[in-house]
Structure 1
Amino acid sequence: MGCSDDDTNEISNDDSTGEIEGIDTNSYIMVVDTNFNSVFLINHDGDELFEWDFTGEQLGNDAELQDDGSLIVELKTNNSNISFGGYGGKFRKINADQSTDWEVSYSGSSYRAHHDFDYLSNGNIIFLVWEEVTATEAEQMGFSANNAIYPEAIVELNPETNEVVWEWHAKEHLIQDYDSTKDNYGVVANNPNKININYNSSQSDGDIMHANGITVDETNDLIYVTVNYYNEVWVIDHSTTTTEAASDTGGNYGLGGDLVYRFGNPDTYDNTGTITLNRVHYPNLLDTGNMLVYSNNIYNGQSAVIEYELNPPYQLVAGQDNEPTVTWEFTDTDLYSLTTSSAGRMSNGNTLIGEGTAGTIWEVNESGEVLWKNSNYNSIWRTYPIDIDSPATTALGL
């Protein structure tokens, strides 16, 4: 475990990086800055090496750098009534020469893509979507408050044809113990693979789940989603057909679109186990199979980066501790951001942290020693370590 509350370990980016022992000099840093409406690459001296041009449009949070130097970015649309923090609505692929390869939208008056996406090896994009459920519809689902809600959906889209090739909807996988005369009634504790629609029913704006991160494990055909207001990570079987994903049968796990695993907050399904997440961002699946997540408020005004050991295939058992093992954790009395934020593993094993609303980038080693900090930013969505000699940097002429 790594933990630091000693400011003497903190190195400003104003110092000469050549004198900082242990920093990853083989990595650049990609900064996704929502305040500056920019995505750019920097080095450890804070020098800006490359910036992408959005032609005056507003960043809708995430961006992914590809090996050919292109950037896929989510931008904001203006045709939807849904405008919670983190909204986007369209995706653009910007070539290394700043020309546009393609652009697609997924946004309408009652639905909108938001926060995060993953670009798959087959060329499709998969992303989070808010979709409106009216107050009347929500009541029939067993929702305990009297307002419209905006549960999560996941859509996989072919950007070349604009065709939806797969989709999943949280509203089709619910449980509730509030009203026996309504749909989805049952015992929450006996249905760990279902989503309790009333876990966050006091959210008056209807954004009851507020997912903010998605990562696809293509090897195991699984989707990981960080669900901020449920304080947990959901795992969904992507091997299903869309029809199976709307049911509770089919796919590699035989569960259809029901959750195959979840972790971080067993209270969401009235289960036993240690709570390790309170607000959460970015399900970063590492090459080792472990996962880094940023737990925004786990220490009551103090954040932490947590690494979990994951061992698919998964099983959720009612009444049993299903939580994964925590293999590493970093926290610091100065580390806190209630929103956004990220953690990534660098080429030398250090961890790069983007401390969202504080606008600070951290680099820490396995022992929890703070090696480097850059506080020149305002509102960071995420930071990504990028190998200096990667194909992407070569394509960008760096």
Structure 2
Amino acid sequence: MKKSVLKIKTSSIGVWLLLFSLTTVVASCSSDDNEEALGETTDDDSTSDDDNAIDTNSYILVVDTRTDGVFLIDHDGNELFEWDLDGDELGDEAQLLDDGSLLLSLKSSNSSISFGGYGGTFRKINADQSIDWEVSYSSNEHRAHHDVDYLSNGNIIFLVWEKVTADEATEMGFSGNHAIYPEAIVEMNPLTGEIAWEWHAKDHFVQDYDSTKDNYGVVVDNPNKIDVNYNSSQSDGDLMHANGITVDESNDLIYVTVNYYSEVWVIDHSTTTEEAASSSGGNYNLGGDLVYRFGNPETYDNVGEVTLNRVHYPNLLDTNNMLVFSNNKYDGQSAVVEYELNLPYALVAGQDNEPSVVWEFTDTSLYSLTTSSAGRMGNGNTLIGEGTAGTIWEVNESGEVLWKYTNYSELWRTYPVEIGSPALTALGL
């Protein structure tokens, strides 16, 4: 396939007007992308303004779910390294670790739970492409899916769908009459398969549907609980469809992007497993109840601005701000949103608990209803992986599109990797 790269640098409205009068290429970064222009490579390195420069000190880790490929590329689209998955299918995530190893989520074959993004098996591939370890968490009762994070203690932590039968769901106050698959989080020692910690959404439900069933209460008065009926019309039982997990080890907090609730959940990881099944214990003394949530206060009947509509990848920055990809923020148009997060967290019933949006990028040609990611690069630019379009964007703080690359078919995520980092050194790059 021909590589197609577009590099764009703009500085003023006047330049835009001049370029528009000379060529239609500029239309490729407006609402009407010019396919012919995207099929060509253009470079403009005439500016010395770092704010208008691509981050040439970074390579890009590309996770292409359509081809089950994981690659490192440069800004010219050259593939510098490709990992051998031995013919296995990605379960979405591929994460480059500091020692040059790759942590993978792969599709298992022993589960009937098969919603989009299913995985079930995890593998760690060493820098020399040998397999360090492989472990599975998959059965007809539960299945790991989408994302995994590698902890400093060597454990992995990942998202899980777990089956709740129709009868069990009814007793929990679910308004439907079918099985449901709420989220769980499992921390595992991958060398032994031992479960070190776990959390289950079903332990933290609230519902105002049936006063004779469990979990009955006033939803707005329980902001730390999860309304089991918020998305009860989801007929396949995949009520929440979480897709991203990030662990802040410094504060012992877990962030989860919950696609069908259009929000980010924050969970206290300082609890024991027993405390995580309750509403007490841990640093916040809330047990496994949500210590914070944001993006869609309608999920708990609360006030505040709705700033997310579908969501992927809770990318916690060094500043403690968070980037997320809002898949359908503008009804057929995606956006990258940066939130200013302030610890310690608190949720107050009936009050606006939403964090401030401090930066946003959108474009009328940016849209992917599934997958996608956003990462902050070393020079302050933002790298965007536009999922179903297979397009990689690099934009600066002012929202100017500096670079677009369209060679891939469907992206899970893209990650900036600094040249000279230990991971690249281990890979010989």
Q: Which residue of 1 aligns with 2:213?
A: 182
- The answer as to 2:95 corresponding to 1:64 is yes
Unmatched 5+ stretches in structure 1: none
1:356·1:381 contact (CA, 8 Å) conserved in 2?
yes
Q: Which residue of 2 aligns with 1:41?
A: 72
- The answer as to 2:125 corresponding to 1:129 is no
1:222-261 aligned at under 5 Å gives the runs: 222-261=253-292
Q: Which residue of 2 aligns with 1:15?
A: 42
Q: Among 234, 237, 251, which residue is 1:220 paired with?
A: 251
Q: Secondary structure at the match of 2:353?
A: coil
In 2: Cα distance, 1:146 partner to 1:280 partner: 27
For residue 89 of structure 1, report the CA deviation from its aligned partner.
Answer: 0.3
For residue 28 of structure 1, report the CA deviation from its aligned partner.
Answer: 0.3
Q: Which residue of 2 aligns with 1:281?
A: 312
Which shows bigger deviation, 176-185 or 59-68? 59-68
Q: Among 269, 275, 279, which residue is 2:300 paired with?
A: 269
Moved segments of 4+, more than 3 Å: 4-13, 16-21
Q: Among 303, 319, 330, which residue is 1:299 paired with?
A: 330
In 2: Cα distance, 1:237 partner to 1:226 partner: 15
1:27-176 aligned at under 5 Å gives the runs: 27-176=58-207
In 2: Cα distance, 1:257 partner to 1:51 partner: 40
For residue 144 of structure 1, report the CA deviation from its aligned partner.
Answer: 0.2
Deviations 1:280-325 (A, max 9, x none): 0000000010000000001000000000000111000000000000
Q: Normalised by the size of structure 1, how large is the TM-score?
A: 0.97
Q: Which residue of 2 aligns with 1:353?
A: 384
Question: Amino acid of the residue matched to residue 274 of structure 1?
Answer: E
* Cα root mean square deviation, aligned: 1.5
1:9·1:370 contact (CA, 8 Å) conserved in 2?
no
Unmatched 5+ stretches in structure 2: 1-11, 17-25, 30-36
1:338-377 aligned at under 5 Å gives the runs: 338-377=369-408
Q: Secondary structure at the match of 2:299?
A: helix
Q: Normalised by the size of structure 2, how large is the TM-score?
A: 0.90
In 2: Cα distance, 1:381 partner to 1:199 partner: 27
In 2: Cα distance, 1:8 partner to 1:25 partner: 25
In 1: Cα distance, 2:407 partner to 2:224 partner: 43
In 2: Cα distance, 1:97 partner to 1:19 partner: 39
For residue 15 of structure 1, report the CA deviation from its aligned partner.
Answer: 2.2
Question: Amino acid of the residue matched to residue 15 of structure 1?
Answer: T
Q: Which residue of 2 aligns with 1:387?
A: 418
Question: Amino acid of the residue matched to residue 245 of structure 1?
Answer: A
For residue 16 of structure 1, report the CA deviation from its aligned partner.
Answer: 3.5
1:352·1:385 contact (CA, 8 Å) conserved in 2?
yes
1:225·1:234 contact (CA, 8 Å) conserved in 2?
yes
Structure showing greater relative contact order (alpha-carbon pairs closer than 8 Å, 6 or more residues apart) = 1
Q: Which residue of 2 aligns with 1:330?
A: 361
For residue 76 of structure 1, report the CA deviation from its aligned partner.
Answer: 0.4
Q: Among 199, 211, 220, which residue is 2:242 paired with?
A: 211
Q: Among 194, 200, 209, which residue is 2:231 paired with?
A: 200
Deviations 1:367-390 (A, max 9, x none): 000000001111000000000111
Q: Which residue of 1 aligns with 2:6?
A: none
For residue 256 of structure 1, report the CA deviation from its aligned partner.
Answer: 0.1
In 2: Cα distance, 1:196 partner to 1:107 partner: 26
- Report the count of equivalent residues: 395
